[in-house]
Amino acid sequence: MTIRNQISGQFSIIVASILTVFSLVIYGLSANYRQEEFYERLKKQARTTVRLLIDVQEVDSTLLKIIDRNSESALIDEQVMVFDKNNQLIYSNIDDKALAYQREWLDQVRTEKDLETHDGDNELIGLLFESTNGQVVALASAYDQFGRSKLRNLALTLGWGWLAGIGLTVVLGFFFAGRSLQPIASINQQIQRITANDLRQRLDEGNRQDEIDQLAINFNQVLSRLALAFEQQRSFVAHASHELRTPLATMKSDVQLALRRPLSEDQLRAVLQTMLPDIDRLSGLTNSLLLMARTLDNIDQMAFGPLRLDEIVFAAQEELQMAKPAYRVDIRYDQFPDSEADTQLHGNENLLQQVVFNLLDNACKYSANHWAEVLLSYDSTGCQLAVRDVGVGISAEDQAHIFEPFYRAQRTLGYEGFGIGLSICHRIITLHQGQLTLKSQLGEGSTFTVWLPRRP
């Protein structure tokens, strides 16, 4: 079922329910009012009859019957009966018909002084009067033709009104639901035109006010991120193949040269010697790529838990000093933590240690004195570590690309490396909802700062 049908259907059901309740209440109130009004008329009739019969000496039963029959206010099928204190009928306005009344009506009137009930389709009332000859009971009944026909008309009007109301609601509901969903249909059409090969297309964001515009804005943002991810992937593959191709091409030409003529053992050894750096480079590169693939592949499933940033820094320092004893790292607290909780964070220990290791390794590698300093600080929102070196520094132009995979600053091409570490660090810190920033001056050194929130 389409949303359009669902909306118009639900809308119609709601309006139908309201109309039904409304019609039933109106009909019920009118029916009640008609009945009350008719009882009142019957009571008036009974009072007049009793007054004329008992109080006015000049009027006897015969005269009263004549008056009753000729009265303009006589009702359809009207019967008025008066009974004395012994329940003997002393007056009836009709004498040709068999008088049907129930004894309990009389008893009820004598005990409750008042009776309002039905006799078939007729309304019937009973009243008690005091007279000099004891208590007199009057019963009056009639058929309310006028009132009932008015009620039938009302029912008919309400019924037709109900049907017309529902019909109108279904048509208007369908129309307005279609109109409200039109922007979604248009967005749907626009989305169908967007393909993976052309992520530059964007949805129309209208006047950026309503919910549909917001949907288009969010969708466009997703498209931008996708386009960026696709672009990064393309450039990554291009860079990776370039990095792999260069040493492979050198090795191939070395082998081709060697195969052209017979070589002595010493010459062969020399050829293999020239190939060794390229093999080392290839092996280093594949190791880095493997590390990157492993880290980025599982990055979203890595377990997060409580950890202390200072402990991670000490562990990374130890790991670096074991791997490269010539490097020196000093660790300082900006202010000494009051309690363990001050340096406590929530994250993945292995990933964060990898980040700190990488930053320390870079700082020492790109500094002539192979020295780096770590400054730890914290506040109520999170913890910060700054890795400072007094090395070669990074130009403003290089800083703009430094976190891209395979990007290496021109001045550092002589150093060993592939330009992958910082892009992994950036990804890991973003995953922890932290920030990795850089301040650097060419020739003076660099400071990489990691800020991590207490609870990502």
In the complex, which residues of this chain contact ligand ADP (CB under 6 A)? 358, 362-363, 366, 389, 391-392, 394, 402, 408-409, 412, 417-423, 446
The residue of the chain with the least Cβ separation from ligand ADP equals: 417
Considering the complex, state which of residue 147 and residue 405 has its C-beta at the smaller distance from ligand ADP. 405
Q: Which of 130, 416 has the CB closer to ligand ADP? A: 416
User: What sign results for the dihedral spanned by CA atoms 5, 11, 16, 21?
Assistant: positive
Work out how close the CB of 391 gets to ligand ADP at its nearest, in angstroms, rounded to a whole number: 5
Q: CA 9 to CA 15: how far, in whole Å? A: 10
What is the Cα Rg of the chain in Å?
50
Kindly tell me which of 173 and 421 has the beta carbon lying closer to ligand ADP: 421
Q: How far is the CB of 182 from ligand ADP (least distance, A)?
A: 50
CA-CA-CA-CA torsion for 73, 79, 84, 87, nearest 10 degrees?
-160
Q: Give Cβ neighbours of residue 202 (< 8 Å, ≥ 6 apart).
A: 220, 223
N residues, the chain: 456
Closer residue to ligand ADP (CB): 11 or 236: 236
CB of 308 to ligand ADP, least distance (A): 25
As measured in angstroms, the least distance from the Cβ of 446 to ligand ADP is 4
Instruction: Report whether 448 contacts 359 (CB < 8 A).
Output: yes
Whichever of 20 and 412 has its CB closer to ligand ADP, that residue is 412
Q: How far apart are CA 92 and CA 83, in angstroms?
A: 9
Q: Output 218 or 350, the one with its CB closest to ligand ADP.
A: 350
Minimum distance, C-beta of residue 416 to ligand ADP, in the bound complex (Å): 7
Cβ 351 to ligand ADP shortest distance, Å: 15
Task: Tell me how far apart the alpha carbons of residues 234 and 89 are, in angstroms, rounded to a whole number.
Answer: 112
Burial class (CB in 10 A: 0-12, 13-18, 19+), 40: exposed
Cα–Cα distances (Å) from 393 to 125, 208, 273, 376, 402, in that order, read 110, 44, 34, 21, 12
